[in-house]
Every structure is written in structure tokens, then in C-alpha cells.
Amino acid sequence: MLMPDGLDDLYQEIILDHYRHPRNKGLLADADLQAEGYNPFCGDQVRLTMDLDESGHVHKVGFDGQGCSISQASASILTKLVKGRSVDEVQGLVATVRRIMQGADMTDEQKDELGELEALEGVKKFPIRVKCALLPWTTLQDAVSEYRKTHAQ
Ligand code: ZN
């Protein structure tokens, strides 16, 4: 299934654009943070890699994966949103996206900050698709957790 019926046209357009022209596609070699995720409900796969600069902010990010349009578009949008953020900020972002996808309404401030993520908010109406939308974000959480384990202060 390419796209759930009943999703807003504008949202569909944004999702399909990211699906067909993914941003930051391609994995980084020797990345500082990496993880991979799999969604058995849909067969979606995502691998994420990120490099930090000297001040600990994400300065390069790359992903690879396959699966439905929602999962791959979510990964593409994610790569745009994590750039320039510290590991703590990335963690906060994951928590925010989870709350939104699990039912919280986006505030105007979040809409400004998260931009195209609003397209994925429409997926909330389709519980099975929420797992697709969240896959890259749970993968991101895994990457952060793994990084923290190996870089404990
Ligand atoms: Zn999926």
C-alpha cells in the first residue's frame, strides 16, 4: 500500500515528495551514532547514521532503508530535523514526536519548529501506520541510547 486513503492531499504530497526524493539518503562511514530498525507489521527497514561536530551537535546525517512511503518519508524528514541539534536535543525531539504520534496535538510552536512533520501527524488517524511513521524515531532513540552507553560521562 503506497498511501492510506483519507489522508489530506497536501500531506500526501509532502510524504510522496520525501518518499520519491529522500533527503540525506546514504549511510555515513564510521558514524558517531548509528542504529537500525525494523517494523514487522509492514516490513519497513531504516538505518540511521549521524556524525557530531566538535561541540557535540549533529552535523552530518544519512539514512538508508526500504519500506512503505510513510516510513521512508518519516526518515527523510527526520534527517532534516536532527541537523544542528545536540544529543540531548535529539532525545527531546524524539520524545516530542512520540507524544504527537501517540495522540498529542501539535502546538503552533511545534508546527513552526517541526515543519513538514505536520504531514505525518495526519497518519495518527491510522493506528497501524503510526508504527511506520515512528520507526525512524525509535531507531533514532536506539542510536542515542547506544551512544550514551559508550560515551558515559
Ligand atoms: Zn510501513
Q: What is the pLDDT along the chain (153 residues), one digit of tens a residue?
A: 456 667 788 889 999 999 999 999 999 999 999 999 999 999 999 999 999 999 999 999 999 999 999 999 999 999 999 999 999 999 999 999 999 999 999 999 999 999 999 999 989 888 889 999 999 999 999 999 999 999 876
- Residue 132 CA to ligand 1 center (angstroms) comes to 4
Asked whether residue 108 is domain-assigned, the answer is yes
Q: How far is the CA of 98 from the centre of ligand 1 (A)?
A: 16
In a domain, 102, yes or no: yes
CA of 53 to the centre of ligand 1 (A): 32
Range of the domain at 110: 7-150
* 80 assigned to some structural domain: yes
CA of 134 to the centre of ligand 1 (A): 9
pLDDT of residue 153: 61
Is 2 part of any domain?
no
Tell me the CA–centroid distance for residue 39 and ligand 1, in Å: 7
* Residue 148: per-residue pLDDT: 94
Instruction: State the amino acid at position 48 in one-letter form.
Output: L
What's the 84 CA to ligand 1 centre distance in angstroms? 28
The pTM (predicted TM-score) of the whole model is 0.94
How much is the pLDDT for 7? 76
pLDDT score, position 98: 96
Q: Give Cβ neighbours of residue 120 (< 8 Å, ≥ 6 apart).
A: 11, 15, 70, 73, 74, 77, 101, 133
Q: Residue 65 C-alpha to ligand 1 middle, in angstroms?
A: 11
Angle, helices 127-150/87-101, rounded to nearest 10 degrees: 160
Does 45 map to a domain? yes
Residue in this structure with the C-alpha cell 488517524, named with its chain if needed: 125
pLDDT the model gives residue 10: 84
Strand, coil or helix: 25: strand
pLDDT for res 107? 93
C-alpha of residue 41 to centroid of ligand 1, in Å: 7
Dist. CA 7 → ligand 1 center (Å): 15
**Measured between alpha carbons, how far is 65 from 37 in angstroms, rounded to an integer?**
9
Instruction: Count structural domains, the chain.
Output: 1
Q: Is residue 1 part of a domain?
A: no
Answer yes or no: are the C-beta atoms of 108 and 58 closer than 8 Å: no
Q: Could you say which DSSP state residue 31 is in?
A: -
Residue 83 domain-assigned (yes or no): yes
CATH assignment at residue 21? 3.90.1010.10
Distance CA 138, CA 95 (A): 10
Burial of 132 (0-12, 13-18, 19+ CB in 10 A): buried
Q: Does residue 59 belong to any structural domain of this protein?
A: yes
